[in-house]
Structure 1
Amino acid sequence: MRQKILTPNIRETTLEKRGFPVKDAAAKELLETVGESFLAGYAHAVGAGSLSEAEQRLEQVPARFKGFAYEGAGMGLAVLDCLAFSDLRRTRQFLSGAGDRHNYMIYVGIGWAMARLPRFLWPSSRRLDPLLLWLVHDGYGFHQAYFHTRRYVYEQYQEPRFSWPPGYESYAARAVDQGIGRALWFVGGTDVERVTSLIDGFPRARRADLYAGTGLAATYAGGAGESELRELRRRAGEHAPQLAQGSAFAAEARIRSGLLCPHNELAAQVLCGTSALRAATLCRETRPATPEPAPGPTPGSTPGPTAAPAPGAVPAYETWRARIADSLHSFGGVTP
């Protein structure tokens, strides 16, 4: 009963329903299988009697699409937690156990849940890793661009005040853009010319984050051959380092979860100018040791004044992304 009520209709992920272009039959099959895998993971999470049962079901998904199933599971668990006002109890339990190696995807899935829920049900940011919580915004941005394409892509709507966590509203909009950029790889049907034309239609100040998201999607999901990836890198121009940073994140997520596929390696070689393993290692080596906690009161504490970041402050997550982009540029393989 719970699974039937909470699981979205699989037709919502077809290219025909979404109105996305079809590059070719292979790209269509890939993108629709990604959507099916996401919804399968969602259904496993909300329909299983326990977290261990959900994991057993998730592990049956083929390696290429397993990460998307865990992303869907992240959404499903977060929806259940938020509806129960449990402050992500199940989700955090999953992240501390079997879901740990898929933590990047699960955090993105939490963002999907928040996009579907009223704000009064959103969880406290204090319950999440202060570094990775920005992947929640990425998931939110992907959802909005994927399901509200006209507004977020063609009308280029930008969240005016995304105050979760409070104090970083300016950067939150950028993190949402990273998710929108990831969605553009799907909205454009993995067609490099279409995708880059969409990005280049946005205001110049937003393009670096959009290209970062596209680099992540092009590497993680795939759908482009070597010549297409080289054209993507060429068209990114001055934003090639950000494109590479997104690609490196994808390589790290794949390697951490043990799901590296040939298309991930190819994309890393082209977009990062190095191997997927070296790109992933760079992500780990440049990761901040002790990121700042998210501002705001700790759940259960007595409300009172809290230290707020300076206007326009950027979190450690952005420092991390910049280090990766700069390091990839220093390799000599990525030039703006």
Structure 2
Amino acid sequence: MSGGRRTQLWSRPPAGEFVTVEEAILSTFSTLKGESALGNGWRALRRRILTPDVSETSLVKRGFHRKDPAAQELLETVGEKFLLGYANAVEARSAEQAAEWLERIPPKFRGFAYEGAGMGYGVLDGLPLGKSANIAEFLAGPGEKHNYIVYVGVGWAMARIPRFAWPKASAFDPLLRWLVLDGYGFHQAYFKTDQYVRRHHQEARFPWPDRRYGGYALRAIDQGVGRALWFVCGTDVSLVGKTIEEFPESRHGDLYAGVGLASTYACGATAEELAELVDRSGIHHGQLAQGSAFAAEARVRAGLLIPETDVATRAICGLPAERAAAITQEVRPAAVVDGADVPAFETWRQRIAEEVLTHGGKK
């Protein structure tokens, strides 16, 4: 395989072309089918072939808004650490070795690296050769306390691998599996911004994880699209609000939920800016607060709580981060019983929104 082909696959694809892992898979294994899939050399090569170039995280290259240098540096660092986590998973000999590398990343960005690892293991599970239990082993081991964010990373992988290679929904927690679609939606809005953000594309229905809820799956994807808006709009709350207003009104609540999650997990806005975001969310403040509480829980559970997260939950939820996180667990269903129209995940989200506004105060 020539170095030029690898560059074409990942570093500098032709303008307007969206390159998938399926293309990398075909190219990689047509050339390496006779080689042993063992050893450091193979893993290093696998990392080089399958890992996108770090330039893909540049706000300038993506065409994203740049609010100020600090916000740009934050968002680009998030992208860099995501790709580092992805590369670590692809190259590591084991989940434990990957975690050893991931734990060296500062707490502020470590969760994004675990998200990248989730994508990396999702891609490896979709390859035609090798074992297909990487995600399961990671979640059963060092990725367990990062399960929220790892699920999201798997959604990134689903956006890159062919549908026949998608993981079975039964492999995931029946309540949390919808977070995989959050990751899918984020990926699509991040890399197909014109289609998913500016032209408001939505698929007719979505078959994963359950065809009975194909309509709700689109809502879960929108939650990921909303999370991506925090990056597309460069953490500019005014631009975020204006961008959401251009979407059909029926989609606003889920988009604001995603924004609430991203603004609390990735941060990048002052308390005053977040207060403006709350005002802009209007009747969707509950969804915004639900996303914020989810983000707080993800950081608290993983032991990655940072001061900026507390600033965000106080502004959006009216509560300290640890209290907002606790509410998500207090109202979590003891048993997962999906409804006729919506899954238990949505009922849980609604209860979180109600409880947060009750305890934090409605705007």
Shift of the 87–196 alpha-carbon distance from structure 1 to 2, 3 Å rule, reads farther
Pairing partner for 1:205 from 250, 253, 268: 250
1:229 is matched with 274
1:324 is matched with 352
Say yes or no: does 1:73 pair with 2:117.
yes
In the TM superposition, 1:126-137 aligns within 5 A as: 126-137=170-181
For the aligned residue pairs, the C-alpha RMSD in angstroms reads 1.3
Q: Which amino acid aligns with 1:5?
A: I
Give the conservation status (yes or no) of the 8 Å contact 1:58–1:70. Answer: yes
Could you tell me how far apart the structure 1 residues matched to 2:261 and 2:328 are? Answer: 13
Deviates more, 1:5-14 or 1:87-96: 87-96
Over alpha carbons, which structure has the higher Rg?
2
1:259 is matched with 304
Could you tell me how far apart the structure 1 residues matched to 2:132 and 2:283 are? Answer: 39
1:334 is matched with 362
Quote how far apart the aligned CAs of 1:87 are.
Answer: 8.6
Q: CA-to-partner distance for each residue in 1:278-311, whole Å, 9 max, x for gaps?
A: 1110001111112148xxxxxxxxxxxxxxx74x
Q: Which amino acid aligns with 1:53?
A: Q
Give the conservation status (yes or no) of the 8 Å contact 2:189–2:196. Answer: yes
Could you tell me how far apart the structure 2 residues matched to 1:88 and 1:108 are? Answer: 18
Q: Which amino acid aligns with 1:215?
A: G
In the TM superposition, 1:1-336 aligns within 5 A as: 1-84=45-128, 89-165=133-209, 166-292=211-337, 310=340, 313-335=341-363
Quote how far apart the aligned CAs of 1:173 are.
Answer: 0.3
Q: Which amino acid aligns with 1:109?
A: G
Quote how far apart the aligned CAs of 1:334 are.
Answer: 2.9
Give the conservation status (yes or no) of the 8 Å contact 2:95–2:141. Answer: no
Q: TM-score of the superposition, structure 2-length normalised?
A: 0.86
Could you tell me how far apart the structure 2 residues matched to 1:179 and 1:75 are? Answer: 15
Q: TM-score of the superposition, structure 1-length normalised?
A: 0.92
After the TM superposition, list the runs of 4 or more consecutive aligned residues in structure 1 that deviate by more than 3 angstroms: 84-88
User: Which consecutive unaligned segments of at least 5 residues does structure 1 have?
Assistant: 294-308
Could you tell me how far apart the structure 1 residues matched to 2:205 and 2:165 are? Answer: 18
User: Which consecutive unaligned segments of at least 5 residues does structure 2 have?
Assistant: 1-44
Q: Which amino acid aligns with 1:271?
A: I
Could you tell me how far apart the structure 2 residues matched to 1:237 and 1:259 are? Answer: 30
Quote how far apart the aligned CAs of 1:84 are.
Answer: 4.0
Give the conservation status (yes or no) of the 8 Å contact 2:319–2:360. Answer: no
Q: Secondary structure of 1:331's match? A: helix
Give the conservation status (yes or no) of the 8 Å contact 1:88–1:127. Answer: no
- Percent identical among aligned pairs is 58
Q: Per chain length, whose mean CA-contact separation is higher, i.e. which structure has more relative contact order (CA < 8 Å, sep 6+)?
A: 1
Q: CA-to-partner distance for each residue in 1:112-132, whole Å, 9 max, x for gaps?
A: 000011111111101111111
Give the conservation status (yes or no) of the 8 Å contact 1:15–1:32. Answer: yes
